[in-house]
A and B are shown apart, each in its own frame.
Chain A
């Protein structure tokens, strides 16, 4: 009974449910989180169980959703703010960056903000330019907020529960195509949410990724391994701020070669932070140039063919890693 198979969205729901039942200060607020059950059904059933005072349907007012959550936390609650889609969170960036990230620092640590902002993002299916973006690169550059990126079902459950009871503000990034992903939650596991996870061990190439791209990398690996006759180690970063450099370092010391895969745009993408760390600290450990595979520098098109051409796919990952391997003596 300690290991249960469930969907990503069910794992999130379970984490919130358990947190709400163990602490009456935990509240959730956002657009359509109550009666509707959440756009991605994450808060399904919670309003019936905990009432409208704790599962709060807000107007379409993202600045207030995050701003109110900050005020609720100042007032002693533990709010979980749900943003419907990352693009709408841009309206709340003032609250996230000027307020949520800075009250603790500006008050010499006297104010504590236990806020979680749930943040569904990424390229889904033909939702076009205003509903498909990713903002981890901006958010992870803000001192004062922690940023988690949730790929596995197990991490979804554990990390959300920990995040809710953390006393620091946390941006909890989910990917819109993962809500119906199946996985196993190990309830007995004690995890450190600020640690990366080695999804697959290997000895020749380290592939670093996060969110949905971890699954795409896993799909690409058999072809890469077969064509290059080498083995890949796949790391799911899980935590983007802080970054678990230790896990990356250990892996690269073993393999000497690194590929970084992200869905977001290439220029200024989060992967450039990882690349910079490798170049600065592990230059002499590297046996090949770093390969970054990222989304193209374009708004996301509606047309399906173009949409897929604008982001990495299992096929393009396999092709690019294989080519890179071949031209670097693998």
Chain B
């Protein structure tokens, strides 16, 4: 792989992690509220997948800040959204869970588990209909593979040979429920096997994720129909800021922290690509500066006004009917 691409991947992962820690800090100090789901530990999936799928349409869930940034949304527009400001990517209406930017083909932020999958199928239909090049990616957690919307989507995407890449981020837990307690096996790609080819990948190895998604992308682009990629990973933090994660042992968390996806790319850069530790540190510094700037921007931005309450419900602005 090209050195510049690996550097960029490292930079985005570092940026993502710093962004998440900053979000956590500002949640604790009260500037961010609601549900905040952090992606720390899973950066390799988010960044690897987005870098390998630059131009396609992406549908995802509430655990999405790093995906949004890696897809090209400005970190400051994401941070401002978390702060509920008008300069946020959803103008303060969506918050952490609802980031959308159609101009960048990012239809992020659905917080109904599995609910966005039929939407991704529909978009894939439109892209096929339009004979478009890029195809569609749907990201979801292990927990989403137990619902009806998931199975309906596998079936329709495969029956109609739609250009859809299913990407399951298997972090083993749906809030406090370990996947193997509510599904007969750990690997959720088994559910897709009757319908389409499946690829399993180490989700803490960003290069492996990148290559798997590239391969899957070229499969859907050739018109073979959908494909399923499953990336195995782990979230270091609780499900959201309101989860103390008492259902798993500190030892289990430590094992996964020792598989730190960020350290792995750093090692790759220093060993295989002959960068010095200092040069990699520079990337971290650059990332930190962007995050600091995003926080400053979010802090200084204005809140939306109460007179904007009825904006964007319909194409034509409606008025309060209650009086």
Whether B176 lies near A303 (C-beta < 8 A) is no
Q: Are B304 and A303 in contact (CB under 8 A)?
A: yes
Contact for B144 among A60, A126, A294, A305, CB less than 8 A: A60
A192 at the interface (CB under 8 A from B): no
Indicate if B255 sits at the interface (CB-CB under 8 A). no
Contact B93 A58, beta carbon cutoff 8 Å: no
Q: How far is the CA of A298 from the CA of B83 in the complex (A)?
A: 21
B322 and A294 within 8 A (CB): yes
Q: Would you give the 0/1 interface string for B177-200, flagging 1 where the beta carbon is closer than 8 Å to chain A?
A: 100011100000000000000000
Stretch at the interface among A73-81, A128-136, A144-152, A219-227: A128-136
The distance from the CB of B202 to the nearest CB of chain A, in whole angstroms, is 25
Query: Does A299 count as interface, using CB distance less than 8 angstroms?
Result: yes
> Inside 8 A of A93's CB, which chain B residues have their CB?
none
Q: A211 vs B322: C-alpha distance in the bound complex, in angstroms?
A: 21
Q: Which of A107-133 contact B (CB under 8 A)?
A: 125-131
Cα distance, A303 to B90, chains bound together (Å): 11
CB distance from A51 to the nearest CB of B (A): 14
Contact of A131 (CB < 8 Å), options: B111, B174, B175: B111
Taking a contact as CB atoms under 8 Å apart, the answer to whether A266 and B322 are in contact is: yes
**Inside 8 A of A294's CB, which chain B residues have their CB?**
322
A306 contacts B143, C-beta separation under 8 Å:
no
B182 near A59: Cβ-Cβ < 8 Å: yes
Chain B binding site: helix, strand, loop or mixed by DSSP?
loop
- The answer to whether B146 touches A61 (Cβ under 8 A) is yes
The answer on a CB contact under 8 Å between B176 and A60 is no
Are B93 and A61 interface neighbours, CB within 8 A? no
Chain B residues whose CB sits within 8 angstroms of the CB of A301 once the complex forms: 92-93, 304, 309
Do residues B309 and A296 form an inter-chain contact, with CB atoms below 8 A? yes
Q: Is A236 located at the chain interface by the 8 A CB criterion?
A: no
Q: Is the CB of B34 within 8 A of A128?
A: yes
The reply to whether B148 and A63 contact each other, CB–CB distance below 8 Å, is yes
Q: Is the CB of B84 within 8 A of A304?
A: yes
Inter-chain contact B313/A35, CB cutoff 8 Å: no
Contact A129 B34 (CB under 8 A): no
Are A128 and B321 in contact, with the CB atoms below 8 A? no
Whole-angstrom distance between the alpha carbons of A309 and B310 in the complex? 11
Given contacts A61-B147, A298-B309, A306-B308, whether A266 and B321 have CB atoms under 8 Å apart is yes
A130 and B95 CA atoms in complex are apart in Å by 11
Closest residue to B86 on the A side, CB-wise?
A303
Contacts of B112 in A (CB 8 A): 87-88, 91, 130
Separation in Å of the A56 CB from the closest CB of chain B? 10
In the complex, whether B33 has a CB less than 8 A from a CB of chain A is yes
**B93 x A302 contact (CB < 8 A):** yes
Known contacts A35-B177, A309-B309; A304 and B247 CB within 8 A of each other: no
A88 partner residues in chain B, CB cutoff 8 A? 112-113
Question: Please, which residue of chain A has its CB at the minimum distance from the CB of B182?
Answer: A59
- Please tell me if B205 contacts chain A, counting CB pairs below 8 Å: no
Report whether B95 and A57 are in contact in the complex, using a CB–CB cutoff of 8 Å. Answer: no
**Smallest CB-CB separation from B245: which chain A residue?**
A36
Contact check, B97 vs A128: say whether CB atoms are below 8 A apart. Answer: yes
Per-residue contact bits, chain A 82-95, to B (CB 8 Å; 1 contact, 0 not): 00000110010000
Q: Please tell me which one of the listed residues A32, A129, A306, A309 contacts residue B98 in the complex, with CB atoms under 8 A apart.
A: A129
A267 beta carbon closer than 8 Å to chain B: yes
Q: How many residues of chain A are within 8 Å of chain B by beta carbon?
A: 38
Say yes or no: A36 contacts B309, CB within 8 Å: no
Nearest CB of A to B67, in Å: 18
- Complex Cα spacing A60 to B113, Å: 8
What residue of chain B has the Cβ atom nearest to residue A56's Cβ? B182
Report the bound CA distance from A299 to B144 in whole Å.
Answer: 24
Please state if A299 and B313 are interface contacts (CB–CB under 8 Å): yes
Q: Inside 8 A of B34's CB, which chain A residues have their CB?
A: 125-128, 302
Instruction: Choose from B94, B114, B174, B318 the contact partner of A302 (Cβ within 8 Å).
Output: B94
Rounded to whole angstroms, the CA-CA distance of A267 and B110 in the bound complex is: 25
Interface contact B147-A32, CB-CB below 8 Å: no
Report the bound CA distance from A39 to B148 in whole Å: 22
83-116 of chain B: CB within 8 A of chain A: 84-85, 90, 92-95, 97-98, 110-114
A125 vs B182: C-alpha distance when bound (angstroms): 30
Chain B residues with CB under 8 Å of A267's CB are 321
Please give, as numbers and ranges, the residues of chain B lying within 8 Å of A58 by CB-CB distance: 182
Taking the complex as formed, is A310 at the interface, i.e. its CB lies under 8 A from any CB of chain B? Answer: yes
Please, which residues of chain B bring their CB within 8 A of the CB of A35?
176-177, 247
- B84 (CB) vs chain A CBs: closest residue: A303
A306 touches B304 (CB 8 A): yes
Closest to A39 in B: B175
Chain B neighbourhood of A87, CB < 8 A: 112
Q: How far is the CB of B192 from chain A (nearest CB, A)?
A: 16
Determine how close the nearest CB of chain B comes to the CB of A283; give it in whole angstroms: 21
Q: Which residues of chain A have C-beta atoms less than 8 A from B256's C-beta?
A: none
In whole angstroms, what is the CA distance A177 to B119 when docked? 32
Complex Cα spacing A87 to B93, Å = 18
Q: Kindly provide the distance from the CB of A173 to the nearest chain B CB, expressed in whole angstroms.
A: 20
In the assembled complex, A297 has its CB within 8 A of some CB on chain B: yes
Max count, chain B CB within 10 A of own CB: residue among A63, A294, A301: A301
Contact A126 B176 (CB under 8 A): no
10 contacts between A and B (CB under 8 A): A31-B174, A36-B247, A59-B147, A61-B148, A88-B113, A91-B148, A127-B35, A131-B111, A301-B93, A309-B306
| A-B interface, 7 closest residue pairs, ranked by CB to CB distance from nearest | A302-B95, A36-B176, A59-B146, A126-B34, A59-B182, A303-B84, A303-B92
| Apart from A130-B112, A296-B320: 14 A-B pairs, beta carbons within 8 A | A35-B177, A39-B175, A59-B146, A59-B147, A61-B148, A63-B148, A126-B33, A128-B97, A128-B98, A129-B98, A131-B111, A296-B309, A303-B95, A305-B303
